[in-house]
Amino acid sequence: MSARPGLLGVLAGGASALGPTAAAAHVKWFEEPAQYPLRTDLILSERTALLVVSALVALGVLYGLQRLLGSPHWPEVAFLRLMAIGGPTLLAVQAAIGLIHAGAHLALFAPNLPLPQDALGLGLAAVQIVIAFSFITGIGDWLSALALIALWAAGFLLFPPFDVLEQLFWTGIGVVLLVIGRFAIDGREARPWFRQHNPRWSLRAIAALRIITGLSIVAPALGEKLWNPELGAAFLAHHPEFNFLRTYLGLTWFTDERFVLVAGLAEAIIGILLASGLLTRVVILGMWLPFNAGLPFLPPQELLGHLPIFGIMYLLLVHSAGIAPGTAQEISRVVPLARSTPNRRRTL
């Protein structure tokens, strides 16, 4: 690509990234990534510098808002506790649907990670389906959580590292279902074997899920857009409606290159803000539109592939950041929530 995105284009497109953009679309699911290798020459470039500056500004704004509001868990409203009931089950079932879809299509977690049509590929597909069955029924869910984490790690033996990093959120799901469990009424209480050592384990699991998911959002922003603009442009060539500023509003100066840059910045900043623990509920609410608006324009695999992410977003909305950056007093104020639920016997 020859044209350079001007600052005006980037600033004007900032709002567009919050609309029905490619910011949350997994570009590699719809294009052939092998034709568009990662541009390592862009790692140390003005695109990365722009991300660093934009992320620092966004973090500063969110930190200021948190100080003004007085809590990293704002808004703290009563009905979120009611919504939390069944949160771990929702996460487990939605993750199971994604695993079944991937296994049935002989892929490891996502369409851009195709498994070989041999004993190894069939075996890995079967493992995903067995894990899904466990998450749906709750039978041996802790063991399946460990298997899920190990399965993700095994992906590095078969696929490019960046492609596997984009699926990092599966390990966060594994951590939550290992520590809290499929049978938990909500996410405030860890399994007895964790809780007896430290009542904050449930909060730690939620915090790990938040950080891991944030990193897994940053990865495709870098690998599909900021450091691979040709891949993003190929997606827009086949889905021009995503660049709605040009297609629907007639802003011809907002080229696909500029759109890919803005979408990558928006996606990466969302991931960084989520990992930071600042106003997690506000960040999650801000994610709903870009992570849902593109679904009507893409095949069903986009929805099925995003179901685990939606489950994560729900759990983080109702439970906030887990252990957020702050003082010991802030942490101690949240911890009693994990102790307030009476002890219950669970099937392990």
Asked whether residue 109 is domain-assigned, the answer is yes
Per-residue pLDDT for 49 more than 90? yes
- DSSP-assigned letters across all residues of 52-86: HHHHHHHHHHHHHHHHHHT-TT-S--THHHHHHTT
Of 195, 210, 213, 182, nearest to 87 by C-alpha is: 182
Per-residue pLDDT for 277 more than 90? yes
Structure-token pair, residue 53? 């500056």
DSSP conformation class of 242? G
Asked whether residue 144 is domain-assigned, the answer is yes
107 φ, ψ (degrees, to nearest 5): -135, 155
Q: What's the domain range around 267? A: 26-339
Mean pLDDT over each residue of the chain, to the nearest integer = 84
293 contacts 20 by C-beta, under 8 angstroms: yes
The residue ranking higher by pLDDT, 181 or 7, is: 181
Three-state DSSP class for residue 152: helix
Asked whether residue 58 is domain-assigned, the answer is yes
Structure-token pair, residue 327? 């003082």
Whole-number Å distance between alpha carbons of 200 and 205: 9
Whole-number Å distance between alpha carbons of 273 and 263: 15
Of 262, 282, 230, nearest to 33 by C-alpha is: 230
Asked whether residue 151 is domain-assigned, the answer is yes
Of 156, 196, 194, 192, nearest to 175 by C-alpha is: 194
pLDDT at 9: 42
Distances (CA, A) of 148 to 120, 141, 171, 294: 16, 10, 7, 28
- DSSP-assigned letters across all residues of 289-340: HHHHTTGGGS-HHHHHHHHHHHHHHHHHHHHTTSS-SS-HHHHHHHHHHHHS
Three-state DSSP class for residue 107: strand
Least confident range of 23-27, 243-247, 286-290: 23-27
- DSSP-assigned letters across all residues of 9-36: HHHHHTTGGGSSSTTSS-GGGTS-GGGS
Asked whether residue 158 is domain-assigned, the answer is yes
CB 161: neighbour CB atoms within 10 A?
Answer: 12
Tally the residues of the chain: 348
Whole-number Å distance between alpha carbons of 270 and 247: 25
* Residue 251, phi-psi category: left (phi > 0), alpha (psi -120 to 50), beta (remainder): beta
- In sequence order, the β-bridge partners of residue 107 are 114
pLDDT at 24: 57
325 contacts 72 by C-beta, under 8 angstroms: yes
**In sequence order, what are the residues at sequence separation of 6 or more whose Cβ sits closer than 8 angstroms to the Cβ of residue 170?**
95, 109, 148, 149, 151, 152, 308
Asked whether residue 312 is domain-assigned, the answer is yes
Task: Map tokens 């044209």 to a residue.
Answer: 3
Structure-token pair, residue 162? 């960046």
- For 197-232, the pLDDT digits (tens) are 777 899 999 999 999 999 999 999 999 899 999 988
Asked whether residue 5 is domain-assigned, the answer is no
Number of domains forming the structure of the chain: 1
Asked whether residue 1 is domain-assigned, the answer is no
pLDDT at 25: 64
Per-residue pLDDT for 177 more than 90? yes
Per-residue pLDDT for 11 more than 70? no
pLDDT at 220: 92
Structure pTM?
Answer: 0.84
pLDDT at 328: 39
